[in-house]
Chains A and B, each alone.
Chain A
Amino acid sequence: MSALLQVRGLSRHYGRRIGCEDVSFELHPGELLCIVGESGSGKSTLLNTVAAQLAPSAGSVRYRQRDGEWLELGQLSEADRRRLAREEWGFVTQNPRDGLRLNVSAGANVAERLMALGVRHYGQLRSIARGWLERVEIDPARIDDAPTGFSGGMQQRLQIARTLVTQPRLVFMDEPTAGLDVSVQARILDLLRRLVNELGLAAVMVTHDLAVARLLAARTMVMQHGRVVETGLTDQILDDPQHPYTQLLVSSVLTT
């Protein structure tokens, strides 16, 4: 099967400091890849660079569109980049307040991407929004409530609904469960796993939590100081870490 995303020798520097350095990987349709590492290891920089939100200092990212054509992201115009982000991709931020539009209702948040794609039928938008709220386990009766009145976990689920409503092929997630308490985390992870399977989406997820990687991802990349130090099947990496840093990471997980 042909890949969806091809990353080759990708680097991003901030002046003389390294954000990420010489990262290469491929992502296949329906695959969920986890990037793990400690704070400051370059995970988010890598994610943002791959998602074309930051310009790479070196290297290339190629994406295969719905019609099978390969796009070189570095050469895309702003218009094409936005079209891609709107029609084929989704981005879930760590802080739902960054990804949501807080001054409009939950329903409008879910429907916004559909309206951007040109859906102009209010009743239709409404029923799709209601359906998605249900799917992410938010009471559809709260469709007209402002997201500011939602709990952190609900806001994050709303952001997931808002992102997935257009059925993207590729979703980028930046620590979607960080900052939530453990039981809420578990629900969101469960939800994500179900939706990823149902919709067959490919996803790149950044996390510092190895348990998240274990639960969701088939493949995991471990980063340290901006470089990928180890990559492979998640179970293999977590059960038999080769690199000293990975070993340290795995052994630091608290067990109860």
Chain B
Amino acid sequence: MTPSYNFAFLDEDTKRMLRRALLKAVAIPGYQVPFGSREMPLPYGWGTGGIQVTAALLGPDDVLKVIDQGADDTTNAVNIRRFFARVAGVATTERTVEASLIQTRHRIPETPLREDQILVFQVPEPEPLRTLEPREAETRTLHALGDYGLMHVKLYEDIAQYGHIATSYDYPVLVDGRFLTSPSPIPKFDNPKLDRSPALMLFGAGREKRLYAIPPYTRVESLAFDDHPFEIQQWEHRCELCGSGESYLDEVVVDDRGGRMFVCSDTDYCGRRRTEAQA
């Protein structure tokens, strides 16, 4: 731990501001709470929102896991994990079951989460209506009035153009029957894991300066049409490393002759299954 920094990098006043915003976010599931986002020692888009939320939550006894696209060993994950090991001295892990706090980009771990775990998402664009309605004042009014017909215009366009709902990540959800919410760019494969999750889910958007939350056991519904219901991705393959047929698979190009393989995107899940199989 580097002694010249305050514990977990941010000063205590900033952490208090963040915690207040987080309490408000938990009190109003899915509502985007503005907060005073700070400059962080890495660029916007690398997870500044998630890092600030994590910094505000970390205690000395926490065990931190950081994943990027499901993997623990990618640049973003490694750097954020090392950052907190340096400025907070907390224990880190790659095991989902051992972690008390998991910061994630683009995935929810395959291993079911527990009540004593918190999942922190990095969010690039917290406003699900933004692509359809560029005016911030207008989207806020739409949220206030629960006027969400517009979101279905996007789904309608998907079906009209592709014959099915082609939105495959950042698939819009309705939280607790009230607020339309962006689940961050997780694949829609992970949307069912949001529904009534025992773990607290917190979302931080650093550039957009917004926080929101899905508290434990909250109803989360993915939008759809009556005759085009919500469906998750399916593969004809199984993971070629661990043989799982239930996890989210990445397609990996392995040579320059068109060879490719499908493997679990969740490295911890895949690795654990392989060790279990060997034992």
Which residues of A are interface residues toward B (Cβ below 8 A)?
78-79, 82, 101, 103-105, 107-108, 111-113, 115-118, 120-123, 125-126, 143-144
Given A112-B153, A122-B225, 18 extra CB contacts under 8 A: A79-B145, A82-B145, A103-B132, A104-B132, A104-B153, A104-B157, A108-B153, A108-B157, A111-B156, A113-B149, A115-B150, A115-B153, A115-B156, A120-B152, A120-B224, A122-B156, A143-B160, A144-B160
A231 → B minimal CB distance (Å): 36
In residues 225-273 of chain B, which contact A (Cβ within 8 Å)?
225-228
Interface contact A105-B141, CB-CB below 8 Å: no
What residues of B have a CB within 8 angstroms of the CB of A144 in the complex? 160-161
B160 touches A108 (CB 8 A): yes
Tell me the minimal C-beta distance from A40 to chain B in angstroms: 28
In whole Å, how far is A102's beta carbon from the nearest beta carbon of chain B?
12
Complex CA gap A79/B160 in Å reads 31
Given contacts A105-B157, A108-B157, contact A122 B227 (CB under 8 A): yes
In the complex, the answer to whether A116 meets B226 with C-beta atoms within 8 Å is no
Query: Is B97 at the interface (CB under 8 A from chain A)?
Result: no
CA distance A78 to B144 in the complex (A): 10
User: Which residues on B are within 8 Å of A, measured CB to CB?
Assistant: 132, 141, 145, 147, 149-150, 152-154, 156-157, 159-161, 224-228
Which residues of chain B are near A112, meaning CB under 8 Å? 149-150, 153
- Least CB separation from A125: chain B residue: B156
- Given known contacts A143-B160, A144-B160, is B149 in contact with A122 (CB within 8 Å)? no
Give every chain B residue within 8 A of A101 (Cβ-Cβ).
Answer: 132, 153
Q: Note all chain A residues with C-beta closer than 8 A to B160.
A: 105, 107-108, 126, 143-144
Q: For residue B146, which residue of chain A has the nearest CB?
A: A79
Q: Which residues of chain B are within 8 angstroms of A103 by Cβ–Cβ distance?
A: 132
21 contacts between A and B (CB under 8 A): A78-B141, A82-B145, A82-B147, A101-B153, A104-B153, A104-B154, A104-B157, A105-B157, A105-B160, A107-B160, A108-B160, A112-B149, A115-B149, A115-B153, A117-B149, A120-B152, A121-B227, A122-B159, A122-B226, A122-B228, A123-B227
Q: How far does the Cβ of B2 sit from chain A's closest Cβ, in whole Å?
A: 48
Judging by beta carbons under 8 Å apart, are B149 and A108 in contact?
A: no
Give the residue of A79, A116, A125 whose beta carbon is less than 8 angstroms from that of B150: A116
Most buried by A among B141, B150, B224, B225: B225
List 7 A-B pairs, minimum CB-CB distance, nearest first: A116-B149, A115-B149, A122-B225, A115-B152, A121-B226, A108-B156, A144-B160
What is the CA–CA distance of A117 and B221 in the complex, to the nearest angstrom? 19
B225 x A107 contact (CB < 8 A): no
Least CB distance from A254 to B in Å reads 42
A82 to B156, CA, bound (A): 22
Nearest CB of B to A144, in Å: 5
In the complex the two chains form, is B145's CB within 8 Å of A78's CB? yes
> CA–CA, A144 to B153, complex, Å?
13
Q: CA A6 – CA B224 in complex, angstroms?
A: 41
Closest A residue to B145 using CB positions: A79
Alpha-carbon distance between A123 and B154 when the two chains are bound, in angstroms:
15
Residues of A within 8 Å of B226, CB to CB, are 120-122
Cβ-closest chain B residue relative to A123: B227
Alpha-carbon gap, A125 to B225, bound state (A): 10
CB contact between B225 and one of A78, A105, A113, A121 (< 8 Å): that residue: A121
B-chain residues with CB within 8 Å of residue A108 when the two chains form the complex: 153, 156-157, 160
Residues in chain B near residue A82, CB distance under 8 A:
145, 147
A47 to chain B, nearest CB (A): 22
Inter-chain contacts of A123 with B (CB < 8 A): 227
Least CB distance from B59 to A in Å reads 43
Nearest Cβ distance between residue A110 and chain B, in whole angstroms?
10
CB-nearest residue of chain A relative to B141? A78
CA distance in complex: A103, B228 (Å): 22
Instruction: Give the complex CA separation of A101 and B134 in angstroms.
Output: 12
Nearest neighbor of A111 in chain B, beta-carbon distance: B156
Inter-chain CA distance A126–B150, complex, in Å, is 16
Least CB distance from A230 to B in Å reads 39
Cβ–Cβ contact A118 & B149, under 8 A: yes
Q: Complex: how many Å from CA A78 to CA B143?
A: 13
A103, B154: Cα distance in complex, Å: 10
Q: Report the minimal beta-carbon distance from A81 to chain B, rounded to whole angstroms.
A: 10
A80 → chain B closest CB, angstroms: 10
> A79 CA to B143 CA in the complex, in Å?
11
- In the complex the two chains form, what is the Cα distance from A111 to B228 in whole Å? 16
Across the two chains, which residue of chain B brings its CB closest to A109?
A: B153
Are A107 and B149 within 8 A (Cβ)? no
A123 to B159, CA, bound (A): 10
Distance A211 CA – B201 CA, assembled complex (angstroms): 63
Report Cα–Cα, A141/B140, bound state, in Å.
36
